[in-house]
Amino acid sequence: MSSGLIPYQEKTLLQERLELLNKEHQGTLRALNSIIHESRELRKLNIAALNILDDLDEEKRRSLDTQRALLNMLEDIEAERAEVERTRAVLEAVNKELEAFSYSVSHDLRAPLRAISGFSRALSEDCADSLSEEGKRYLELIQENTKRMASLIDGLLAFSRLGRQRMSTLEIDMEDMFDEVFDDLMTQEPDRDIDFIRSPLPPIQGDPLMIRQVLVNLLSNALKFTRGRKRAVVEVGYLSDVEGGTYYVKDNGAGFDMQYADRLFGVFERLHPTEEFEGNGVGLALVERIIARHGGKVWATSVQGEGSTFFFTISGSG
């Protein structure tokens, strides 16, 4: 019996070894599968790394292109800055020339004008008895034209000085300023009865002296061109829905032909004869220049014989 048990035990041992070898084989296969999987993952990581490197290389090329573009822009900016500096130098030279010209106009033209005015007045006073009525009328014309020339010189000087005048920026109560300017102007025409209508007006940020000059010129024009009206009306208001906020001065005066509106703000431009309405043709040019320096604009509408409306904006008003 003992000899029969031995083969059974050997068989059992063989089976156990086979099972063990099978388990080891399975483990080896699993390890190989894991290695294969890891290899695939590593391959994917390598491909991703290569893609990242390619992207980095592309970004590097783009960065270099951007740097070159920025360098070109900086060179252009530097060239523009140099051009601006040259332009500024030219403008400074032109301003100095204008200042010298203004002095020449003030000194060299005023002196002969004063002489003409003085001699014509002396002739009118000392030789009045020997002058005919026609001669007296000629002397009056000489006096009127010398005054007009002096006024033109004053206007030219004021216009040239404005470009060099420094600006201050303060809050301006437009209601108070319009009222004050109108009252001041009415002291020069106490016999007139003007219907002055002023709506509520928002304040602005600007140079008080310059803005006051704008109001003086616009209201003076309104008063001047309504002299022929039995009932003169001057209206001041504000339109919040026009150009982001617009002030206006409206009158029922003589008006002007709109086909000549483009000449309205030119220096020495006049749309009415001097014999009909006095003036040197500089007031509205000053208005436009002051408004432009405040970052705004000015324009006008009119119906000839029915009146005019002047509009202006100021940057930061409302």
Instruction: Give per-residue pLDDT as tens, 98-147.
Output: 666 666 666 667 777 777 878 788 877 777 777 788 887 888 878 777 77
pLDDT at 273: 45
∠213-147-281 over CA atoms, to 5°? 45
Low-confidence stretches of the chain (pLDDT < 50) are 1-3, 268, 270-273, 275-277, 279-280
| Contact by Cβ (8 Å): 222, 197 | no
- Of the candidates 246, 247, 249, 238, which has an alpha carbon nearest to the alpha carbon of residue 194? 249
Give CA–CA dist 25/282, Å, rounded.
109
What local confidence, expressed as pLDDT, does residue 72 receive?
87
Beta bridge pairs of residue 303: 307
> Which tokens sit at 9?
């035990």
Q: Residue 252 in contact with residue 195, Cβ under 8 Å?
A: no
pLDDT for the residue numbered 182: 92
Q: What is the pLDDT of residue 118?
A: 80
Contact 136/124 with Cβ under 8 angstroms?
Answer: yes
Please state at what angle helix 283-293 crosses helix 208-225, rounded to 10 degrees.
150
User: What is the rounded distance in angstroms from the CA atom of residue 296 to the CA atom of residue 291?
Assistant: 5
The CA distance from 306 to 302, in Å, is: 8
Compute φ and ψ for 190, nearest 5 degrees.
-65, -20
pLDDT of residue 271: 47
According to the model, what pLDDT value does residue 275 have?
47
- From the list 207, 244, 210, 251, the residue with the least C-alpha distance to 229 is 251
For the chain, give the DSSP string.
Answer: -HHHHHHHHHHHHHHHHHHHHHHHHHHHHHHHHHHHHHHHHHHHHHHHHHHHHHHHHHHHHHHHHHHHHHHHHHHHHHHHHHHHHHHHHHHHHHHHHHHHHHHHIIIIIHHHHHHHHHHHHHHHHHSGGGS-HHHHHHHHHHHHHHHHHHHHHHHHHHHHHHTTPPP--EEE-HHHHHHHHHHHHHTT-TT--EEEEE-----EEE-HHHHHHHHHHHHHHHHHHTTT-SSEEEEEEEETTSTTSEEEEEE-S----GGGGGGTTSTT--SS-TTTS---S-HHHHHHHHHHHTT--EEEEEETTTEEEEEE--TT--
Where are the chain's structural domains? 1-164, 170-312
Q: How far apart are CA 98 and CA 161, in angstroms?
A: 9
pLDDT of residue 280: 47
CATH of domain 170-312: 3.30.565.10
Give the tokens for residue 171: 């809050």
Q: What is the identity of the amino acid at 130?
A: S
Q: With contact defined as beta carbons under 8 Å apart, do 310 and 248 qualify?
A: yes
Burial of residue 219 (number of CB atoms within 10 Å: 0-12, 13-18, 19+): buried
* Predicted pLDDT at 143: 77
Q: What are phi and psi of 300, to 5 degrees?
A: -145, 150
